């Protein structure tokens, strides 16, 4: 359920982009009529309207996600606040300048930030963040915690590079294909990685004493 909950803003972003793309002129009219105050120049073209509207919906969806947790009295993790901040910053630039380059870079930068956070915590603060976040759930040998941390560092670096390649090389000029990759391609890779990690960790879990 948590995986689906985390996937909610991405799904909204994808749905809004595809719906806006199928009704580009109507989306353009809506943006130029009601959102001109937050758009540089006061208007967008029909081709620009899908990414602008999808980005706005994604930001609102992330805010709604956090509001739901707060209303339920549940803790909002730092990573969710960070994700919202990055979404607002890069998404805001995308909306204001009606340029998809910023929202495309956002995903890579978030991945690389996560990798840097794990790396700095390991070598500067001598803390294994994977152990800190999962240590209350499972018990593993020190070596396996270290391998797990490095696995996530490598994964985040690779995903950031992959997003850059897909956005600016493989599908350069084809934002629709990048949106599909963001929604389903990167999510599927993440899911496979987590499943593989679970299988690996199950072989090394310590029996409770």
Question: What DSSP letter does each residue of 130-196 carry, written as one string?
Answer: HHHHHTTT----HHHHHHHHHHHHHHHHHHHHHHHHIIIIITTT-HHHHHHIIIIIHHHHHHHHHHH
Both 13 and 37 in a single domain? yes
Whether 207 has a pLDDT exceeding 70, the answer reads no
Place of tokens 């899908």: 50
Single residue among 33, 65, 99 that ends a domain in this structure: 99
Both 201 and 121 in a single domain? yes
Range of weakest confidence among 6-20, 46-60, 91-105: 6-20
Single residue among 99, 117, 138 that ends a domain in this structure: 99
Both 10 and 57 in a single domain? yes
Higher pLDDT, 100 or 201: 100
Domain that holds residue 113: 101-209
Phi-psi region of 73 (alpha: psi -120 to 50; beta: other; left: phi over 0): left
Torsional sign, CA 179, 181, 186, 187: positive
Average pLDDT over residues 179-208: 86
Single residue among 99, 127, 161 that ends a domain in this structure: 99
Residue 87, SS3 per DSSP: helix
Q: How many domains does the chain have?
A: 2
Higher pLDDT, 208 or 19: 19
Tell me the pLDDT of the chain averaged across its residues: 90
Both 94 and 107 in a single domain? no
Query: What is the model's pLDDT at position 45?
Result: 94
Both 93 and 128 in a single domain? no
Both 92 and 3 in a single domain? yes
Both 82 and 158 in a single domain? no
Both 85 and 122 in a single domain? no
Query: What is the model's pLDDT at position 209?
Result: 47
Whether 107 has a pLDDT exceeding 80, the answer reads yes
Range of weakest confidence among 76-85, 119-128, 132-141: 132-141
Average pLDDT over residues 34-54: 94
Whether 49 has a pLDDT exceeding 80, the answer reads yes
Query: What is the model's pLDDT at position 206?
Result: 60
Both 71 and 105 in a single domain? no
Both 111 and 209 in a single domain? yes
Contact 166, 181 (CB under 8 A): yes
Query: What is the model's pLDDT at position 91?
Result: 95
Both 25 and 111 in a single domain? no
Contact 14, 183 (CB under 8 A): yes
Query: What is the model's pLDDT at position 4?
Result: 62
H/E run at residue 66: helix 49-71
């Amino acid at each position: 359920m948590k995986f689906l909950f985390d996937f909610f803003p991405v799904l909204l972003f994808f749905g809004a982009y595809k719906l806006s793309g199928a009704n580009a002129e109507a989306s353009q009219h809506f943006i130029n009529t009601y959102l001109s105050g937050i758009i540089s120049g006061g208007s967008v073209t029909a081709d620009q309207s899908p990414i602008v509207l999808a980005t706005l919906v994604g930001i609102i969806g992330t805010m709604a996600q956090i509001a739901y947790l707060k209303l339920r009295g549940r803790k909002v993790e730092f990573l969710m606040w960070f994700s919202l901040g990055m979404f607002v910053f890069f998404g805001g630039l995308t909306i204001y300048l009606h340029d998809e380059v910023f929202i495309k870079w956002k995903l890579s930068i978030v991945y690389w930030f996560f990798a840097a956070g794990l790396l700095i915590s390991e070598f500067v603060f001598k803390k294994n963040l994977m152990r800190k976040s999962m240590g209350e759930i499972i018990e593993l040998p020190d070596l396996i915690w270290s391998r797990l941390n490095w696995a996530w560092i490598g994964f985040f670096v690779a995903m950031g590079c992959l997003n850059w390649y897909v956005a600016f090389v493989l599908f350069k000029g084809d934002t629709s294909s990048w949106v599909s990759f963001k929604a389903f391609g990167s999510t599927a890779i993440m899911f496979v990685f987590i499943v593989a990690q679970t299988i690996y960790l199950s072989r090394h879990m310590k029996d409770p004493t």
